[in-house]
Amino acid sequence: MKKALLATAFVPLIVGGCAGVEPKDTLTETLETGGALKPEHQHINLEKAHLFFDINPEKREVKGKTELVLSVTERQSDFLIDFDNNYQISALSINSLKTNDYTHELGEIRFSLEQPIAAGDKLRVTIEYKGQPHVAINPPWDGGYVWDETENGKPWIATAVQGEGCDLIWPCIDHPTFEAKQTDIVIRVPKGLVAASNGKLIESSEGEGWSQYHWRSEQPQNNYGIALNVGPYEVLKDTYQSRYGHEYPLVFYYLEGKKAEAEKLFNEFSEQLDFYEDVIGPYPFYAEKMGVVETPHLGMEHQTINAYGQEYKAGKYNFDWLLHHELAHEWFGNQVTNTDWDHMWLHEGFGAYMQPLYGQYLHGDFVYHSMMYDSRIGIRNEHPVVSNKPMSEDDVYKADRGPGSDIYQKGAWILHTLRNLIGDDDFFAATRELVYQTTDPKPGNFEPHFADSQDFIDAVNEQTGEDFTWFFEHYLYTAKLPELVAEQEGNKLSLHWQTFNEAAFKLPVEVQVGDTISTVVVGKTPIQVALPTTDAHYVLDPLHKILKQEDYLDAYAKEQPQ
């Protein structure tokens, strides 16, 4: 979830903040994430990351130590690690040997080896640092560290950096394709506080005035998804019995004093997992946990420790939309991760579509169509959903530069239209192929991977046995929507599609006359449909199965407050 949720009709606007905190200036270079790979990053992999954080809430200061194990696929001597200049580096070591031969400017740590390392070799880089990190202005939309307090004045801290990148909280390679194969996260906090993070809790320990929590993830995870959550937490735990024959822990870290509200939300964990495992497939991170933590910002898809900050507000469709949306990202975003921000609709379009599907799962078609109508109002159609070029996060999320909120609502409507076109069997098979790289996912036969829009198109084509490239040419790669043009002369109704892409375009359209619904295939060339009388009343696409230009919806949307 990110900035585009400001515009989505699926959800209310709830903005978290940090009153009285003046954010420290952060370089523009650090606040950008993604884009084209830098030359120094094109032939390296991140094998392991060991992250230590010593958090001082009183000073709003972090002292840390990061150890990265890099491997190279080609001979290389020049290296670059992204890291915010709000931190001061006290020591840098390469293969355990300290060096002063490095620079830390413009959010980049640069160093060169006297002797290049060969393809296949590994490099261990250790960075010790201290500083006052960038403060989130409007988390999670404008992220960083969130320094807050509970109602009784205890420290309540979180990180959320999807839009700005991992380099705001740890030395990393700030591109979506750089996920460590194993990550250890050790967080030291003042005694009395709890630190919740990604993966499994390996151990907790205490010393004079401090408590320490060691978390480990042995599966790749989004680098922006590595999260620190600190507060006076209490914990709810349970075990989920999967339909696939295994079990895994459910964990909810909530603020003290909110047990009743927390228990009510916690009851939804297993219900929502039932839906996802039934409709999509196995929960991907069963070897670790399905975890949620209460945060001083709205929410974010932090792998195995999703952030939740909606204050337990009831949803009008009898489920918590935020919990459901962030949980969706364990499949769409964490199990399958886009290769570039340009394909972010794979995270957010699918993630947003899961809520209407869940509404249908719980309550039937009425709720599904109601939720889809709500989301249709927010579609902008000013930029293509996918541009097929390297994009930064800002290139995608800022509406003056890219699709913005369309990766949510329009993405969901593209999927809705596709599902109605190819049918449930092929649609969900293609979805499972995208997520798991198999249509028959079972625990042990899949692992996290990267994908782009073409991978989903290929999956659709494979499952249907047809080439649906034309469909995506019009919906993904073209900003404007197809318009269904209808002209009546006597009892003859002429129909054709007006499009803004040269690719072929033919969609079946339902035509309702009285109580009768018939289906005709409509292309760019007009076809004739006979009406029973010259004054017969007809409705095109009465169930709104197709995403198309509809002027009355645009007019209504413009009247709504932004």
Residue 63's pLDDT is what? 99
Q: Are residues 467 and 492 in the same domain?
A: no
Sign of the C-alpha dihedral, residues 4, 428, 238, 226?
negative
**Nearest alpha carbon to residue 272 among 344, 327, 330:** 327
The CATH number that applies at residue 425 is 1.10.390.10
Q: Which structure tokens are listed for 338?
A: 């886009």
Cα(108)–Cα(97) distance, rounded to whole angstroms?
20
Residue 4's pLDDT is what? 40
Cα(317)–Cα(362) distance, rounded to whole angstroms?
9
Residue 5's pLDDT is what? 40
Phi and psi at residue 344, to the nearest 5°: -65, -20
- In tens, the pLDDT along 321-380 reads 999 999 999 999 999 999 999 999 999 999 999 999 999 999 999 999 999 999 999 899
Task: Decide: 448 and 335 in contact? Cβ < 8 Å.
Answer: yes
Is residue 553 included in any domain, yes or no?
Answer: no
Phi and psi at residue 418, to the nearest 5°: -65, -45
- In this model, does residue 561 exceed pLDDT 90? no
Q: Are residues 471 and 528 in the same domain?
A: no
The CATH number that applies at residue 257 is 2.60.40.1730
Residue range 530-539: mean pLDDT, rounded: 96
Residue 31's pLDDT is what? 72
Cα(413)–Cα(545) distance, rounded to whole angstroms?
9
Is residue 318 included in any domain, yes or no?
Answer: no
Is residue 153 included in any domain, yes or no?
Answer: yes
- Other beta carbons less than 10 A from residue 299's beta carbon: 26
Q: Are residues 149 and 35 in the same domain?
A: yes
**Position 96, amino acid:** S
Residue range 386-414: mean pLDDT, rounded: 95
Cα(408)–Cα(118) distance, rounded to whole angstroms?
43
Percent of the chain scoring above 70 in pLDDT? 94
Q: Are residues 408 and 446 in the same domain?
A: yes
The DSSP annotation for 310-371 comes to: STTPPPTTSS-HHHHHHHHTTTBTTTEEESSGGGTHHHHHHHHHHHHHHHHHHH-HHHHHHH
Cα(187)–Cα(214) distance, rounded to whole angstroms?
7
- In tens, the pLDDT along 122-144 reads 999 999 999 999 999 999 999 99
Cα-to-chain-centroid distance, residue 98: 38
Mapped to the 3 state alphabet, what secondary structure does 156-186 carry? EEEEECCCCCHHHCCCECCCCCCCCCEEEEE
Is residue 329 included in any domain, yes or no?
Answer: no
Percent of the chain scoring above 90 in pLDDT? 90
Q: Are residues 150 and 73 in the same domain?
A: yes
Residues 6+ apart with CB under 8 A from 8: 352, 375, 378, 405, 408, 409
Phi and psi at residue 166, to the nearest 5°: -65, -25
Residue range 22-48: mean pLDDT, rounded: 78
pTM of the model: 0.93
Q: Which structure tokens are listed for 465?
A: 């046995």
Is residue 552 included in any domain, yes or no?
Answer: no
Instruction: State the total domains in the chain.
Output: 3
Q: Are residues 27 and 78 in the same domain?
A: yes
Q: Are residues 385 and 424 in the same domain?
A: yes
Cα-to-chain-centroid distance, residue 380: 20
Work out the pLDDT band at 315, boundaries 50, 70, 90.
confident
**Nearest alpha carbon to residue 86 among 169, 165, 146:** 169
Q: What is the mean pLDDT of the chain?
A: 94
- In tens, the pLDDT along 438-473 reads 999 999 999 999 999 999 999 999 999 999 999 999
**Nearest alpha carbon to residue 524 among 553, 494, 560:** 494
Cα(500)–Cα(481) distance, rounded to whole angstroms?
8
SS3 427: helix
The DSSP annotation for 280-320 comes to: T-S-TTTTT-EEEEE-SSSEE--TTSEEE-STTPPPTTSS-
- In this model, does residue 6 exceed pLDDT 90? no
Q: Which of 441, 475, 509 is the last residue of a domain?
A: 475
Helix then strand then coil, % of the chain, to nearest 5? 25, 35, 40
Q: Are residues 190 and 300 in the same domain?
A: yes
The CATH number that applies at residue 507 is 2.60.40
Residue 2's pLDDT is what? 56
∠ CA 145-378-347, nearest 5°, is: 50
Domain that holds residue 501: 483-546
Cα(532)–Cα(518) distance, rounded to whole angstroms?
13
- In this model, does residue 236 exceed pLDDT 70? yes
Sign of the C-alpha dihedral, residues 455, 461, 467, 468?
negative
Task: Decide: 140 and 1 in contact? Cβ < 8 Å.
Answer: yes
Helix (H) or strand (E) holding 141: none
Q: Are residues 430 and 293 in the same domain?
A: no
SS3 489: strand
Q: Are residues 306 and 455 in the same domain?
A: no
Residue 516's pLDDT is what? 95
- In tens, the pLDDT along 61-96 reads 999 999 999 999 999 999 999 999 999 999 999 999
- The greatest distance separating any two alpha carbons of the chain, rounded to the nearest whole angstrom, comes to 89
Cα(271)–Cα(370) distance, rounded to whole angstroms?
21
Cα(461)–Cα(474) distance, rounded to whole angstroms?
16
Is residue 121 included in any domain, yes or no?
Answer: yes
Work out the pLDDT band at 32, boundaries 50, 70, 90.
confident
Task: Decide: 547 and 413 in contact? Cβ < 8 Å.
Answer: yes
Is residue 204 included in any domain, yes or no?
Answer: yes
Task: Decide: 158 and 146 in contact? Cβ < 8 Å.
Answer: yes
| Strand duo 44-56 + 182-190: pairing | parallel
Q: Are residues 467 and 499 in the same domain?
A: no
Residue range 304-319: mean pLDDT, rounded: 94
Token pair 């620079």: residue: 103
**Nearest alpha carbon to residue 392 among 106, 36, 138:** 36
Q: Are residues 406 and 540 in the same domain?
A: no
- Other beta carbons less than 10 A from residue 313's beta carbon: 11
Task: Decide: 206 and 321 in contact? Cβ < 8 Å.
Answer: no
Cα(234)–Cα(254) distance, rounded to whole angstroms?
5
Cα(228)–Cα(47) distance, rounded to whole angstroms?
21
Sign of the C-alpha dihedral, residues 304, 309, 311, 317?
negative
Residue range 157-186: mean pLDDT, rounded: 96
Q: Which structure tokens are listed for 53?
A: 């954080």
- In this model, does residue 399 exceed pLDDT 90? no
Task: Decide: 247 and 214 in contact? Cβ < 8 Å.
Answer: no
Mapped to the 3 state alphabet, what secondary structure does 416-467 carry? HHHHHHHCHHHHHHHHHHHHHCCCCCCCCCCCCEEECHHHHHHHHHHHHCCC
Work out the pLDDT band at 549, boundaries 50, 70, 90.
very high
